[in-house]
Structure 1
Amino acid sequence: MKPIFLVLPLVALVACATPREACIRDAQRQVTLLNQQIATTQGNIDRGYALAEVQDIRTITTTCTGTNEDGSTFTFPCQETRTITRQEPVAINVAEERAKLADLIERRDAAAEATNARIQQCIAMHPE
């Protein structure tokens, strides 16, 4: 189960953005994604390995409660299935990661120029 209470304030903040702010955020989306990929790739190079998310399904014995017909409660052992996500090291080719990093930086620099032009359009379309 995902914590919905964390998502709702974010949705409320996005809904409160002015048209200008929304336009600028949309214009910056590609550069933001490329920056995240650059950070991940740089981390892989620094560590010498990548981290992959692995999900394990485990059955855990726990204590459950029930209610009798007369309204009294009782406890009994029961099993619960849980999915646990963990990170596992994965071997990488550091030379390929460096080439990937150089490509991502080049793409980000090109995207940044286009983003600046789109931001200027946003400012012109939505003056405050």
Structure 2
Amino acid sequence: MRAIALLLLLSLAACATPRQSCERAALYDLRVLDKLIRQSEQTIARGFAYRREPYERSRLDFCYGSWLGRNPAAGFTFCDWPEIRVREVPVAVDLAAERRNLAELKAKRAETERRAARTLADCAARYPAQAEAPAGAKK
């Protein structure tokens, strides 16, 4: 199942033009910084943060037969599968440190934005858009 999903994702990635791929790569760091800034602002507004904590629970399911032991059972049986889930747990945070972190992220974003603008200009120069219309197109 994972192989099919991977093939589908690769086929979708192949649909992007080289210029779109170049622009997406140029803006990746900027998108990550924007997400971190948004999370930091939300933490400051809330007054606490969330920590993701994995936990295990069991899931009861129907199984066909039991292949354990010498005499495998035929028919449907119940199976108990472990399942890992994630929950968000509120945690205390130093708001002064979080504000300093937010200021550093915003400064880093400004620097990254300038670098992304240069890279986008380079992408436009390397992969120019088609200026003329196709032969059969009406004006």
TM-score (norm 2): 0.75
User: Hey, what does 2:32 align to over in structure 1?
Assistant: 33
State how 1:15-94 maps to structure 2 within 5 Å: 15-66=14-65, 73-94=74-95
Q: Tell me the matched-pair count.
A: 123
User: Hey, what does 1:107 align to over in structure 2?
Assistant: 108
- Quote the offset at 1:81 in angstroms: 1.0
- Quote the offset at 1:75 in angstroms: 3.5
Secondary structure (helix, strand or coil) at the match of 1:83 reads: strand
User: Hey, what does 1:12 align to over in structure 2?
Assistant: 11
Q: Deviations over 1:35-91 (max 9, x none)?
A: 111111111112111111111112345544428xxxx95333442211111111111
* Alignment CA distance shift 1:78-1:23 (3 Å): closer
- Quote the offset at 1:21 in angstroms: 1.0
Q: In 2, distance between residues paired with 1:62 and 1:23? A: 46
- Quote the offset at 1:14 in angstroms: 2.2
Larger Rg: 2
Query: Identical aligned pairs, as a percentage?
Result: 29
Q: Which runs of 5+ in 1 are unaligned?
A: none
Higher helix share: 1
Q: In 2, distance between residues paired with 1:22 and 1:78? A: 45
Secondary structure (helix, strand or coil) at the match of 1:127 reads: coil
- Quote the offset at 1:19 in angstroms: 1.1
* Alignment CA distance shift 1:58-1:107 (3 Å): same
One-letter code of the match for 2:90? P
Secondary structure (helix, strand or coil) at the match of 1:11 reads: helix
Q: In 2, distance between residues paired with 1:52 and 1:60? A: 24
Q: In 2, distance between residues paired with 1:53 and 1:7? A: 26
Root-mean-square deviation (Å): 2.5
Secondary structure (helix, strand or coil) at the match of 2:80 reads: strand
TM-score (norm 1): 0.80
Q: Which runs of 5+ in 2 are unaligned?
A: 67-72, 130-139
Q: After the TM superposition, which of the residue ranges 117-126 and 73-82 deviates more from structure 2?
A: 73-82
